[in-house]
Structure 1
Amino acid sequence: MAGTKNTGRSELPGLETPKFGPTGRPLREFADPAPLKSHGPARIISLCNQKGGVGKTTTTINLGATLAGYGRRVLAIDFDPQGALSAGLNVNTHDALTIYDLLLGSAKDPSAAIQHTSVEGLDVIPANIDLSAAEVHLVNEVARETILARVLRKVSADYDVILIDCQPSLGLLTINALTASHGVFIPLECEFFALRGVALLVETIDKVRDRLNPAIELDGILATMYDPRTLHSREVLERVVDAFGDAVLETVIGRTVKFPDASVAGRPITQFAPEHSAAKAYKQLARELVARGAVA
């Protein structure tokens, strides 16, 4: 009828028209997770994508900080020679024990390499450019794919979640991370070239499951850098949902300049701009992962 407004309600009295999110599914609010009565052993999750610049490090930092805010004990592993995770949490990597020392056996105790951050409950094992030489040194080691798993086994009981920020490749370091992990989390930029590599990554996860780690699961695909104003972002997200269905998380992380600002400040977005929509999105993400059972 002419002049009738869309009120957001169905024509049946008392029934609300459901609101839909960017993934095309009805929007849900996930409840705050209940406090844990005890801690450990940790569930180990790799944040993995062979394409760079898709939000792996940003997600590791902010998901870790948010889970710590919900009372979880979180250990983040910087597994990228660029050391962006360490820098983004203002962690010292100069003359400090790093994950490289633990992989090569020059340091035996992982707890000696753990550094605390400004976020209570969030710790880091840092990395620096030395890690770029690790694949060359490890290639002749016996059971080289399981070295990280043996390192993390020594500290797993002290944490609820261990997040591994992988480098943008599918080399030996990433295989080590997948072999050590219970779950894989794929941040995916809403851009066509990022979409192309997901099938190869899922194939790699399947090979690791078949040959090295039968317990590994795909915990979810997280759409990042989403811009609802562009048709391209909307189409890429639609194609991902069509291809992977419920594996795509309902939470979507939008594109914002607040992320690089927070990185420069060496703080997670939840500290740097706690009322910003990006901080709220990562809180929603943490609650969704707890609701899915990916995190305790």
Structure 2
Amino acid sequence: MEGAIISRSPNTRVAVVTGGNKGIGLEVCRQLADNGVSVVLTARDEARGVAAVEKLKAQGLSDVVFHQLEVNNAATGGNERLDDVIIPGVEKFDGMDVHQRLEWMKNNTRETHEAAKQGMQTNYYGTKHVTEALLPLLLSSSDGRIVNVSSSFGLLRHFGADEVELRRQLDDINSLTEKRLDELLDAFLGGFDDSSEPEMCGRGRTAGFSAYKVAKAAVNAYTRMLARRHLALRVNCVHPGYVRTDFSMNSGLLSPEEGARGVVKLALLPNGGPTGAYFAEGQLQASFV
């Protein structure tokens, strides 16, 4: 990857896309390349990553290279699919609204401590680690952009009555540090125990997507801290929408192409554009609440 970047003109825009071999990530690579950006498509699996690059090149997008990236930061729900559930075709959800689709997802997954821990490592720490690795390159650019894929689930309004203090501290960006954020996440996982009651898990939380919610709220908080620390960069997070992917078990309302548009829009922000902000489907939102 380093050679691919350094060998190019200093005026060439280069984007590194994680989880680029399928779903939203692959579509982000396609749209960026279509906008004249040199793309480094990264994935953990070399064969899948190379195949994805070849697919894009077959579409006439030649300025895309592959780099194997071991950091696991493609989204995961922090849940386990029930043993007898097979991912259905998209026609399964015809006639369902967004609430019905999410209810189907909830009823066909379970939250466990191991899944919650893996979800936190993937959704928050994976994002943090790859950002830290690429920061020197970004800071050497006159036009650096960081776009973190978040979720509406991570908005603080979704925190319950038993999570008021966690919500308050995640929103207190003036005082929050990365060390304190780690402590908050450790405490959350420490109180997340597998329950024998199918409708309850971890200190009475309703079964659903609590680990995913907290991880994405952490991504939002980390994004805001980075933006305050690196004023020369444009650092934002975006909710791409409820997209039909393996992650959503095909239950989403939007295509990967539609979901990728908001991500690409932020990557192509002009100089002086927003930073430390939250976008939903490409539109700037008033707050993280």
TM-score (ref. length: structure 1): 0.26
TM-score (ref. length: structure 2): 0.27
Q: Which has the higher contact order (CA 8 A, sep 6+)?
A: 1
Larger-gyration structure (1/2): 1
More helix by share: 2
